[in-house]
Amino acid sequence: MRPGRVLIAGSLDTKGEENLFLKTRLNRAGVETLVVDVGILGDPFFAPDVTRHEIAEYAGASATKLSRDAD
């Protein structure tokens, strides 16, 4: 039986290292991953499959504005 695909939704700005560890371990085990960056505080630790800008745009918002509002 082949493993499925796992969605990793995480803040790649503050928890990027932990999310990359999880992604790496799953990929090594043969599990495909889809990483979605939901952080808004800083630059992502690594490049996600779906960026914070794409998520914000889909919701009718701006990741840049959300980041400014969080300060």
Span 26-36, average pLDDT: 96
Q: Share the mean pLDDT of the chain.
A: 90
Q: Is the pLDDT of residue 67 over 90?
A: no
The counts of H helices and E strands in the chain are 3, 2
Span 15-42, average pLDDT: 96
pTM of the model: 0.83
Q: Is the pLDDT of residue 70 over 80?
A: no
SS3 state at 59: coil
DSSP 16: H
Q: Is the pLDDT of residue 2 over 70?
A: no
